[in-house]
Amino acid sequence: MQDPLGRLAAQIGSGMKLAVPVDYGGVPMALTRAIIAAGIDDLHLVCVPTGGMQVDMMIGAGLVKTIETSAVSLGEAGGAPQFNAAVRAGRVAMMDATCPAIHAGLLAAQKGVPFVPIRGLIETDVLANRLDWCVINNPMADDTGDDPIVLIPAIHPDAAIFHAPMADRFGNVWIGRRRELAAMAYSTKTTLVTVERMFDGDLMADEMTAAGTLPALYVTDVAVAARGAWPLGLWGEYDGDVAEQHRYAQAARTPEGFAAYMASDVRAGAA
C-alpha cells in the first residue's frame, strides 16, 4: 500500500501549475521531497507570494519550467543558489511579480472574476516584463483626467500544497491566521495538505477553532507528516532548523553539492 505522502505526491503531475506558500506560512517540505522523488517535470510554480528552500530544491532537481514569484531567497541563510543559477542560465522561465499582485491574482480566482485592479507597478520593469498584465484607464475616475491602473488576471493553479498544524477526520484543516493558505485553496480544485497531527474531534464544532479552519469543502486530501515543514519552521509549533538551512545553502552552491545533499535528504525524507 502506498504511503500517505506518496498518495498526495501522485496527485501532482508534470506540467501542472502548482501554488506553494511563503517560507513562514507552512511549507510542506516532507511532501516536496516525495514530489521530487516522483520524478515529474515542467511545473509552473506560483509562489504565494515568495519562495524559499522548497522552490530552490524543486528548481535544482529539474522539476520547474516556469516560476511566477515576487522573490526567491533562503532568508537568513542567504540567496537561493539553484534558483539564481537557473535564472542566469535561462533554464527557468521567469515571471517576476510583486507580492500584492500575486494576492490580487488569487483574489480574482476566489471571486470568480477575470482580473483584479491594483495600484502601483506603473513605470516599473516588473510591469514591463509581464505581458499577461495590462493597464487600463480607470473607467470610474472622478474627472476627465487619465488614471492608469494595472489589471492582474486571475491565477488558477491546478493544485495547491501546504503544511499546517492539524486536521480532523472530516478533512477540515486548521490554518489559524495564515489566511493566504485559504486564498490558495479557493483558487484551485486540488488542495493537498500535510499536517503535524490529527485533531480528535470536529474543528468546525467549536467557534474558537472554526474561525481559523479551512473547511473540508476546499480540501482534497490530507496526510500526516510530523515535523513536515523541517528544516523550515511551522508557526506556533517549532522554529526553523537554522543549521540545516545553512547546510543546504552551502551545499546547493554547486551542482555536485546540491546532488549530494538531495541524495541524502530524499532518503531521509522517505525513511
Partner 1 sequence: MSTPTTAHEILIVSIARLLRGTRHVAVGAASPIPAAGAMLARALAETQDEPKLRLSILGSVAHNFFTNGSAELFDCAAQGRIDAFFLGGGQIDGSGNVNLVGVGDYPEGTVRWPGSFGSAFLYFQIPRVILFREEHTPRVMVEKVDFISAPGVSSEGIWRKGGPHALLTGKGLFGFDATRPGFHLQTLHPGHTLEDVTAATGFRFSHAHATPETPPPDAATLALIRGRIRDELHESYPDFAATLRTAPLPSPLKEPSS
Q: Using CB under 8 A as the criterion, which residues of the chain lie in contact with partner 1 when the complex forms? A: 22, 24-25, 48-50, 69-73, 75-76, 79-80, 83-84, 87-90, 94, 96-101, 103, 107, 118-127, 129, 145-149, 177-183, 235
Total residue length of the chain:
271
Residues 203, 174 contacting (CB under 8 angstroms)? yes
Nearer to partner 1, 9 or 50 (CB): 50
| 3-class DSSP assignment, residue 157 | coil
Closest CA to 230 of 69, 19, 23: 23
Nearer to partner 1 by Cβ, of 125 and 200: the residue is 125
One-letter amino acid of 108 = A
Minimum Å distance from CB 225 to partner 1? 22
Nearer to partner 1, 140 or 271 (CB): 140
170 vs 235, which CB is nearer to partner 1?
A: 235
> Grid coordinates representing 201?
474531534
Cell numbers standing for residue 196: 503535524
Report in angstroms how near the CB of residue 242 gets to partner 1 at its nearest. Answer: 9
Report the C-alpha gap between 87 and 73 in whole angstroms: 13
- Grid-cell match 491565477, residue found: 155
Q: Which is nearer to partner 1, 135 or 260 (CB)?
A: 135
Minimum distance from residue 86 beta carbon to partner 1 (Å): 9
Q: How far is the CB of 19 from partner 1 (least distance, A)?
A: 13
Burial class of 271 by CB neighbour count within 10 A (0 to 12, 13 to 18, 19+): exposed
* Min dist. Cβ of residue 178 to partner 1 (A): 6
